[in-house]
Amino acid sequence: MSAPTCTAPPGIPSRTNRRPNQQKQANVILFPHEEGNGSPVAVPVPTPAGAVRRWQYQYSQQLRLSDSLIVVASVLLAQYVRFGEIANTSGYSDAVMTLFSCLFAALWLSSLAVFQTRSTRIIGSGIDEYRRIGSATFWTFGIIAMGTLLAKIDLARGYLAIALPAGTLGLIVSRHLWRQHIARKRVHGGCQTRVLAIGDRESVSHLAHEMARAPMAGCVVVGVCIPGYGPPRGNVITIGGREVPVLGDETYVAAGLGSCGADTVAVAQTDHFGMHGLRELMWQLEKTDVDLVVSPGVMDMTQARLALRLTAGLPLLHVEKPQYEGTKRFQKQIFDFCFSLAALIATSPLLISSALAIKLTSRGPVFYPSERIGIDGKPFKMFKFRTMTNGADTQVENLLTLNESVGGMLFKMRDDPRITRVGKILRRFSIDELPQFLNVVKGDMSVVGPRPPLQREVDNYEVDVRRRLLVKPGVSGLWQVSGRSDLSWDESVRLDLSYVDNWSMSGDLVIVAKTVKAVLTSHGAY
């Protein structure tokens, strides 16, 4: 069926008769769209009353102030240490150095603006925000270094050696603290991005559910438009125990924005719109302060695997294949061996004292060797400190009725009577898992990976769950830093599959850092 032809809706200039000052780009994040046979949206969208997302602009201004203070402070510190009273050997006057510091600070702040480190698109998003700060700082110091070299001014090296680490660290720590501040507000319902979702019941419910699972991301669905629904009839759909109003079909987007106060329109299903319908929706929103986002229909993909490419004028989302072999795998093996060896050496006093405590307080061996399934389904013996009474495995059948694991595949009990007094302490701080680094040195496990499964779990795996066996199981992983024993079976599987599809060395380092925090807080450990 051919795509529908669309004309500009009333009150909106067509592409051919717009005046030059009307060629404003819409606030749009483009993802691939599909040809469809639905009718285009034909209702112009008025600008919502009041400034939307006012908190974002206020937050951006606060970042501007804190960035300025940090940059100025780091530059003045460098000037004082390098050319002030502490090391007054440069031969440059205070006025010259003060002028240089002012120019340096202005260049640094300009770079932060050029690299859009305070853009409302990325503030509070984490690694992308930090990456832009790093890029802006790198270029600033590169320009200063090249300028002083060409001008043959011998003053930059010591000066930059102080300002670079002080300023960069200050900016990153400041952004981290701001993110924590915003995250706390979002948990309590503040600083939210209000979303109007368009799609069928299943797709909008899935979108709303995924957004609700990550409250610190600050996105909440406040209304839905369902294609073919007709005019609003006062109905609601329940998503995660919360009622979301159905505001009509796609032709009622304008009225829906006014009634629910959304500042973002999310298209969760593109087949009804088609390319012309999406284009019409873009045109309608470009005069407003409302963003448009389109779900690409894939989930649990990291940004590193996604790339938007234009092919024959069409924006297509390219999804890179997961990397299990080659250079990346070799890098992971080297990291695993070196990190595990260092961990065993650093924790050797703790390992020895734990072994003595186990041996002196209960009968049985110090270590509990458990058969687990590794890469490609190969079994291996995983080492852990024994935290239960000797022969605890034989008592499992009597305790199955007390299993607290959601999903039933795993056995979890908060107050398991088989755990010894020393075992409770070891489990609370994950000390019982330290001997697993021996498995990493042997090559059976990785520092980071999916949770090591039992044979009875693997026997009940569905086909897609068996993807967990494509990589080595890990001492830590996404499951470890996302709730540990508090996770349901389905959630644990989802996290493991996400890791398998998206693993990278940088991601492993982030998980290692988060593991330290999870261990210190004992969250989900029992």
Domain boundary among 319, 346, 380: 319
Q: Look at residue 1 and tell me if it is in a domain.
A: no
Give yes or no for a contact between 384 and 364, defined as CB atoms under 8 angstroms apart: no
Q: Are residues 163 and 178 in the same domain?
A: yes
297 in the same domain as 170: no
Report yes or no: 492 and 499 within 8 Å, Cβ to Cβ.
Answer: no
Confirm whether 450 is domain-assigned. Answer: yes
For residues 384 and 362, give the distance between their C-alpha atoms in angstroms, rounded to a whole number.
Answer: 16
Whole-number mean pLDDT of the chain? 78
Q: Could you read off the pLDDT of 77-126 as tens digits, one per residue?
A: 888 887 665 444 445 556 777 788 888 899 999 999 999 998 877 776 66
Instruction: Tell me: pLDDT of 304 over 90.
Output: no
215 touches 185 (CB < 8 A): no
**Is 93 a domain residue?**
yes
Kindly state whether residue 370 falls inside one of the protein's structural domains.
Answer: yes
In a domain, 10, yes or no: no
Q: Are residues 255 and 232 in the same domain?
A: yes
Angle between helices 127-150 and 94-114 (to 10 degrees): 140
* 232 and 200 in a common domain: yes
In a domain, 477, yes or no: yes
pLDDT-derived band at 19, boundaries 50, 70, 90: very low
333, 454: one domain: yes
Q: Are 345 and 490 found together in one domain?
A: yes
CB 174 within 8 A of CB 70: yes
Residue where a domain stops, chosen among 171, 187, 203: 187
> Is 135 in the same domain as 158?
yes
Q: Give the pLDDT band of residue 423 (cuts 50, 70, 90).
A: confident
Tell me the mean pLDDT in the region 452-469.
86
Q: Are 446 and 440 in contact (CB under 8 A)?
A: yes
Q: Tell me whether residue 80 is in a domain.
A: yes
Final residue belonging to a domain, choices 158, 187, 216: 187
The count of domains in the chain is 3
Supply the range of the domain harboring residue 230. 25-41+192-319
Average of per-residue pLDDT across 144-153 = 74
Is 108 part of a structural domain of the chain?
yes
Q: Are residues 224 and 152 in the same domain?
A: no
Co-location of 361 and 243 in the same domain: no
Our measurement of the distance from residue 397's CA atom to the centroid of its chain's CA atoms, rounded to an integer in Å, reads 40
What pLDDT, on the 0 to 100 scale, is given for residue 381? 94
483 class by beta-carbon count within 10 Å (0-12 exposed, 13-18 middle, 19+ buried): middle
Note if the pTM is more than 0.75. no
Check whether residue 292 and residue 354 sit in a common domain: no
The answer to whether 56 and 119 are in contact (CB under 8 A) is: no
Residue 485 makes CB contacts below 8 A (sequence gap 6+) with 412, 524, 525, 526
- Whether residues 331 and 472 fall in one domain: yes
Instruction: Report yes or no: 383 and 438 within 8 Å, Cβ to Cβ.
Output: yes
The confidence score (pLDDT) of residue 336 equals: 94
Residue 282 sits in a domain of what CATH number?
3.40.50
Same domain (yes/no): 471, 377? yes
